[in-house]
Structure 1
């Protein structure tokens, strides 16, 4: 059985954890009424996780470019191979699009992003209430698309593990 490289595994699981945490934090923070210190703290953490996902996704994409993943099992139907490939491409696109849309939304809102409380990421443009109104649902729906694809990805991995028993999941486990 061919496996993913250790750096690919670490990046996969770290990014997965951060995506789930940022998504959960996003759902929790928007339901906090008013403008409280807790809500502000959660927004900061959410942004930090988003920036970190963006940075790690860039590293992961570079790593993948130089270190090809193991081939799909020969037993996989061609439609499943295509579906897996499309899903992976879309996940990579969303690992960039979701944090970037959040950054642009925050910029349009006129709120700075101070990464890990250490340094401010420069704003891409001046605050723009009209653009903020457009970017808020864009960020939301990109997140919903990411959540749906993550659920599909996990379901497919579990299907391969427990139904097909073809070691697809084991290739990504440390």
Structure 2
């Protein structure tokens, strides 16, 4: 696979770092709200979840900037147009959903009057306490993660199809991470 058919190393590294953070943040978010969880574990998970959200946001924005500077390698000519359109749509929706998830999470925490400990020096005071806004952001965040999981499922499923069954080079565009 030539460098013209693969994403560049910084793009691959950011992709896999984003995967790692998202794949740890989703379960942390699901577990942290469970009843009966020891308070120390719950606090640790809340701290992790709400402080990693802005990191994911920054990584996604950096990935989008790199996408402008380093366009995606071309898809194989053998890929049917509907599949190419589906791939582009899923990628765009993944980016949009990750941004929306991060922004709604940040809004929920700040409007709820809670700190985002590592980010308060930058973000503190950006959103005043507002319970109605906090509830709206929480509801959006709580629904959007389902969309995110479905999009991840489609993305991983397509990657597996191309990497394990079709072996057409599409999976190799992003693997290995570096």
Q: TM-score, normalised by structure 1?
A: 0.93
1:136 maps to 2:135:
no
* Distance apart, 1:104 and its partner CA: 0.3
Cα distance in 2 between the residues matched to 1:150 and 1:68 = 22
Cα distance in 1 between the residues matched to 2:16 and 2:23 = 11
The CA RMSD measured in Å over matched residues stands at: 1.7
Are 2:50 and 2:109, in contact at CA under 8 Å, matched by a contact in 1?
A: no
Cα distance in 2 between the residues matched to 1:30 and 1:39 = 7
Find the residue that maps to 1:113 and give its secondary structure. coil
Higher normalized contact order (CA 8 Å, seq sep 6+, divided by chain length) = 2
Deviations 1:75-96 (A, max 9, x none): 1111100000000011111121
The aligned runs of 1:59-98 (5 Å cut-off) are 59-98=62-101
2:154 paired residue number: 152
2:18 paired residue number: 15
Are 2:162 and 2:168, in contact at CA under 8 Å, matched by a contact in 1?
A: yes
Cα distance in 2 between the residues matched to 1:29 and 1:93 = 25
Are 1:107 and 1:126, in contact at CA under 8 Å, matched by a contact in 2?
A: yes
Cα distance in 2 between the residues matched to 1:35 and 1:131 = 28
Report the count of equivalent residues: 173
Deviations 1:62-113 (A, max 9, x none): 1111001111111111110000000001111112111110000111211011
Cα distance in 2 between the residues matched to 1:49 and 1:32 = 22
Q: TM-score, normalised by structure 2?
A: 0.91
Are 2:12 and 2:175, in contact at CA under 8 Å, matched by a contact in 1?
A: yes
Q: Structure 1: state its 5+ residue gaps.
A: none
Q: Structure 2: state its 5+ residue gaps.
A: none
